[in-house]
Amino acid sequence: MKIIGNGAEAVIALEGNTVIKTRIQKHYRLKEIDEGIRRDRTRTEARLISEARRCGVPTPVIRDVTDFEIKMEYIDGTALKEIINIALSEQTGELIGRLHSCGIVHGDLTTSNILLKNGKLFLIDFGLSYLDKSVEARGVDIHVLFQTFKSTHENHVELIRAFKKGYARTFSDAAYIIAREKQIESRGRYA
C-alpha cells in the first residue's frame, strides 16, 4: 500500500488498482461528533460519486464503503492541468454541465481533480460535494475552477470561453450560473 495523498481531512492510499480513502480522526472534537461527521461524509461522498456516474459524469467505480473508508477504482489518467487545451476545456464544460443538471455541486473543482483517460474525462475527489440546486452554489463551483485556470494556465481567457460553450450545451440554466459567476468574481473572495 502506497500513500498518494494527505489532505486536511483524509489520507489516500493506493493498493493495486484500488484507491483507499480514509477519513482520519480529529482529536480536537468530541469522539461522538468526530465519528458522526466522518461516517456521514464517507457515505455521502460514495453516494454522490455513484450518482454523478448515473448522470453521465465518468467517476471511479466504488468497490466498498465502510464507516470511514471508501475503496474505489484507481483512474490511471493524466491530470487536466498537465494537458489542458481549448477542446478539453469545452469537454470539461459539458462534464460539469451534466453534474450541475443533476443537482450535484462538486465543491472543489480544480484541474487536478479532472483526469483524462483513453480520451474520456473523469471527475474525482467528491470529498466536499453536496446536493444543491442554487445558482450561488453552482456559480461558486465554476468560479473555483476558473480561478485554477487563471493561476496555472496562460491562455485562461480562451479556456474559460470554451468551458462556457460546453457548459451551456449540457445544462439549460447555464446562462444564469455564468452571470452569477461574474458577480462572485467581483466580490473577490474565493481566492
Partner 1 sequence: MPYNCGHENLMSGISILGLEGTAWNLSAAIVDEDDVVVENTATYKPPTGGIHPREAAQHHANHIAGVIRKTLEKRRGRINAVAFSMGPGLGPCLRTVATAARALALSLDAPLIGVNHCIAHIEVGIWKTPAHDPVALYVSGANSQVLSYRAGHYRVFGETLDIGIGNALDKFARSAGLSHPGGPKVEELAKHATQYIKLPYTVKGMDFSFSGLATAAHEASRKYPLPDVCHSFQETAFAMLVEVTERAVAHTGKSEVLLAGGVGANSRLREMLGVMCNDRGIGFYVPEKRFMGDNGAMIAYLGLLMYKSGYRTEIPDSKVNPDYRPDDAVVTWR
Query: Which span sits near partner 1 by CB under 8 A: 6-14, 46-54, 87-95, 109-117?
Result: 6-14
Whether 154 contacts 164, CB under 8 Å: no
> Which of 2, 8, 16, 119 contacts partner 1 by CB under 8 A?
8
What is the smallest separation between the CB atom of 33 and partner 1, expressed in angstroms? Answer: 5
Helices 174-187/156-170 angle, 10° precision: 140
> Which of 130, 135, 165, 168 contacts partner 1 by CB under 8 A?
130
The Cα–Cα gap between 92 and 136 comes to 20
Q: If you ran DSSP here, which 8-state letter would residue 19 be given?
A: E
Contacts of 93 (CB under 8 A, 6+ apart): 162, 163, 164, 165, 166, 167, 168, 169, 170
Q: Which of residues 35-54 bind partner 1 (CB under 8 A)?
A: 36-37
Q: Is 108 among the residues known to form the active site? A: yes
Q: Taking CB under 8 A as the rule, does residue 189 contact partner 1?
A: yes
Helices (H) and strands (E) in the chain, counts: 6, 10
What the block records as the C-alpha cell of 30 is 468530541
What is the smallest separation between the CB atom of 41 and partner 1, expressed in angstroms? Answer: 10
Nearer to partner 1, 29 or 117 (CB): 29
The binding site for partner 1 (CB under 8 A) comprises: 7-9, 26-30, 32-34, 36-37, 107, 128, 130, 140, 187-191
- Known catalytic residues are 108
